[in-house]
């Protein structure tokens, strides 16, 4: 089990590669690559989750010794890129830029605040509450998604659709880990500190995280770049 976290992170990277090279639209490829790069930096937050949420065996036992690990950077890179473009795998879309007049809409008055809402919520919850960091993450992602929904209601279909598709695919991905390493969840996750609810062996919190990530992350590129998507169909 020592290398399970590394192996499944690399498997995710392979999946990322397959999806990236299957994309026909250059904008979608750029979207996936840019978001993956910036999302990978979220792997540096791992000390917030170790050992409060989990304690995964990692290369050189880095997670146990320092809280940081290489696997988290790989994992964050993979999930970030997949969450942002998975909608574009199932639906043919094209991107277009907002006009100057469209940017002046009253909904965009809080554009920057909406973009920063997720990290702001996360930091506040981290500082003023003692709830497990995974719940702070989920609340922050959903809160950021709601703020985005207000600012960019045109992205709501992509956000909701991605949330459910990504959760389903994440469940399958996680379940293969359980099949390959029975007992891994019980050994690595701090189940006594969270709900302890397992859905066919998968911690409920992992599925909550997947849904919340898909909900917000699917919109982040278009929101930042002032782009909209049009379903070709």
Q: Report the pLDDT value the prediction gives residue 233, as an integer from 0 to 100.
A: 59
pLDDT digits (tens, 9 = 90+) for 192-226: 999 999 999 999 999 999 999 999 999 999 999 99
Do 53 and 190 meet the contact criterion of CB atoms below 8 Å apart? yes
53-68 pLDDT, tens digit each: 999 999 878 777 887 8
pTM above 0.95, yes or no: no
Domain-wise residue ranges, the chain: 4-231
* H or E element, residue 94: strand 93-97
Q: What CA–CA distance (Å, rounded) separates 202 from 198?
A: 5
């Amino acid at each position: 089990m020592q290398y399970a976290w590394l192996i499944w992170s690399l498997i995710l990277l392979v999946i990322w590669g397959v999806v990236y090279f299957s994309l026909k639209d250059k904008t979608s490829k750029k979207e996936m690559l840019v978001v993956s790069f910036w999302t990978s930096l979220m792997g540096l937050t791992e000390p917030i989750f170790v050992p409060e949420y989990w304690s995964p065996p990692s290369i050189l036992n880095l997670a146990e010794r320092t809280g940081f690990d290489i696997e988290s950077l790989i994992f964050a890179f993979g999930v970030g890129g997949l969450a942002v473009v998975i909608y574009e795998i199932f639906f043919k879309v094209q991107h277009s830029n907002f006009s100057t007049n469209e940017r002046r809409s009253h909904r965009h008055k809080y554009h920057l605040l909406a973009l920063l809402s997720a990290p702001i919520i996360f930091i506040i919850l981290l500082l003023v509450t003692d709830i497990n960091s995974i719940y702070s993450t989920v609340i922050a992602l959903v809160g950021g998604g709601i703020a985005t929904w207000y600012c960019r209601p045109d992205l709501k279909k992509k956000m909701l659709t991605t949330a459910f598709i990504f959760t389903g695919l994440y469940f399958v991905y996680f379940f293969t880990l359980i099949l390959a390493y029975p007992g891994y969840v019980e050994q690595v996750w701090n189940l006594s500190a969270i709900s302890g609810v397992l859905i066919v062996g998968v911690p409920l919190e992992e599925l909550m995280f997947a849904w919340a990530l898909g909900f917000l992350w699917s919109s982040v590129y278009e929101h930042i770049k002032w782009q909209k998507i049009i379903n070709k169909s």
